[in-house]
């Protein structure tokens, strides 16, 4: 499990000459412990910084429990704070009606206004084929409505949202169908998540980019699904836990999200326990040397 290093820990690492390339916190604690064997002053510094370091470690998952991870919506312009039943959602978004992060009026407008909700134009190189457009609409419904993205959310700063999801495992069958529908359509970007010309208020082709087929820009299905939204998805075999954007009835993504949430909480607890153990051992060594 990777985490963001707290500033006090980075300061301490710099003081004693450890570079912040090792992002496993318990590994750093082991290195601190080894240093106490030769440099007794290291341990008191470490003990003083421990509360801040522990808080920094917990912030990697925002201190959320498993249930909190499973009952949170992306912090975005049109999203609810927590998922819940919506009664009915419009057309392609209807699979999420029993538990959704979107609202019915938002999904209706999404289907009726090509530029809603973010002034993003899919048809920047001419009209997409109906099959390709249908897949992008389903992807937009997944983005707006899915209640299963909590374990993959990261903080960002944008006008339209304060979070995004990263590396959500997308079933390869979903990806291949999306690719087959769009590979011969035209686009002018190999990453729809950034790089557009927004001077008109609507996304236009990046300066110097030409309209070519998706196949020319992305090459294959996996590259397309993983790069189209700047790393939002990672493609995995259908035999592994993975998300689908197409389903009827019970949401199969619930089980995938729960598995990932459990892993995050267990890993966070394990890392914290290891950190405290190393520090306590270091305290023992320090006291023995003083004795």
What is the per-residue pLDDT for 239? 96
Q: Which residues of 8-24 are buried (b: 16+ CB within 10 A; e: fewer)?
A: bbeebbeeeebeeeeee
* Nearest Cα residue to 178 out of 212, 228, 217: 228
Distance CA 160, CA 284 (A): 51
Q: Which residues of 270-287 are buried (b: 16+ CB within 10 A; e: fewer)?
A: ebeebbeebbeebeeebe
pTM (predicted TM-score): 0.73
Kind and range of the H or E run holding 112: helix 104-112
Distance CA 38, CA 91 (A): 68
What is the per-residue pLDDT for 50? 54
What is the per-residue pLDDT for 18? 41
What is the per-residue pLDDT for 19? 39
Chain Cα centroid distance, residue 57: 18
DSSP characters for 191-234? -TTS--B-TTSS-BPPTT---EEHHHHH-SHHHHHHHTTTTSEE
* Nearest Cα residue to 62 out of 12, 145, 3: 3
68 within 8 A of 58, measured Cβ to Cβ: no
List the beta bridge partners of residue 76. 161
* Nearest Cα residue to 143 out of 79, 197, 91, 203: 79
Tens digit of each residue's pLDDT, the chain (291 residues): 333 444 444 444 444 344 333 344 455 555 555 555 555 555 565 555 555 444 443 333 466 788 888 998 999 888 999 999 988 888 999 999 999 999 989 999 999 888 888 899 999 999 999 999 999 999 999 999 999 999 999 988 888 888 999 999 999 999 999 999 999 999 999 999 999 999 999 999 999 999 999 999 999 999 999 999 999 999 999 999 999 999 988 999 999 999 999 998 887 765 544 455 555 555 555 555 556
What is the per-residue pLDDT for 44? 60
What is the per-residue pLDDT for 266? 85
């Amino acid at each position: 499990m990777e985490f963001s290093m707290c500033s006090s820990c980075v300061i301490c690492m710099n003081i004693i000459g450890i570079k912040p390339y090792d992002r496993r916190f318990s590994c750093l604690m082991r290195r601190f412990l080894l240093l106490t064997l030769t440099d007794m002053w290291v341990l008191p510094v470490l003990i003083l910084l421990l509360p801040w370091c522990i808080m920094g470690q917990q912030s990697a998952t925002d201190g959320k429990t498993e249930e909190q991870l499973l009952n949170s919506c992306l912090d975005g312009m049109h999203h609810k704070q927590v998922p819940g039943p919506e009664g009915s959602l419009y057309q392609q978004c209807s699979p999420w009606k029993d538990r959704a992060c979107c609202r019915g009026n938002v999904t209706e407008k999404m289907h009726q206004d090509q530029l809603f909700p973010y002034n993003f134009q899919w048809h920047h190189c001419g009209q997409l084929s109906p099959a390709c457009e249908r897949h992008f609409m389903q992807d937009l419904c997944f983005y707006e409505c899915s209640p299963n993205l909590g374990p993959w959310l990261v903080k960002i700063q944008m006008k339209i949202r304060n979070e995004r999801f990263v590396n959500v495992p997308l079933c390869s069958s979903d990806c291949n169908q999306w690719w087959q529908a769009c590979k011969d359509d035209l686009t002018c970007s190999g990453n729809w998540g950034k790089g557009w010309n927004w001077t008109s208020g609507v996304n236009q082709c990046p300066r110097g980019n030409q309209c070519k087929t998706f196949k020319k820009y992305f090459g294959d299905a996996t590259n397309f699904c993983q790069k189209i939204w700047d790393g939002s998805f990672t493609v995995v075999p259908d035999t592994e836990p993975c998300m689908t954007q197409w389903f009827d009835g019970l949401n199969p993504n619930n089980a995938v999200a729960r598995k990932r949430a459990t892993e995050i909480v267990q890993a966070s607890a394990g890392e914290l326990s290891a950190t405290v153990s190393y520090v306590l051992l270091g305290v023992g060594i320090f006291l023995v040397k003083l004795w």
